[in-house]
Amino acid sequence: MLKVNEIYFSIQGESSKAGLPCVFVRLTYCNLRCVYCDTEYAFYAGEDYSINSILSEVKKYNCRLVELTGGEPLVQTQSLDLMKKLCDEGYEVMLETGGSLSIKDVDPRVMIIMDLKCPSSGMMKKNFYENIDYLKLTDELKFVIGSREDYDWMKEIMEKYKLAKRFKILVSVVFDELEPVTLVEWVLQDKLNVRFQLQMHKFIWDPAAKGV
Is position 212 within any domain? no
Give the pLDDT score at 176: 78
Is the pLDDT at 85 greater than 70? The verdict is: yes
Q: Is residue 85 part of a domain?
A: yes
User: What would the pLDDT profile of 107-124 be if each residue is shown by its tens digit?
Assistant: 999 999 999 999 999 999
pLDDT digits (tens, 9 = 90+) for 53-72: 999 999 999 999 999 999 99
Dist CA 133 CA 141 (whole Å): 12
Calpha distance 149→99 (Å, rounded): 20
With respect to residue 209, please indicate whether it lies within any of the assigned structural domains: no
Within a domain: 46: yes
Q: Give the count of domains, the chain.
A: 1
Q: Which domain holds residue 16?
A: 2-204
Give mean pLDDT, residues 81-99: 98
What does pTM read for this prediction?
A: 0.93
Whether 173 maps to a domain, the answer reads yes
pLDDT value, residue 13: 87
Report if residue 64 sits inside a domain.
Answer: yes
d(CA 30, CA 22): 22
CATH code, domain carrying 115: 3.20.20.70
Residue 186 banded pLDDT, cuts 50, 70, 90: very high
Look at residue 168 and tell me if it is in a domain: yes
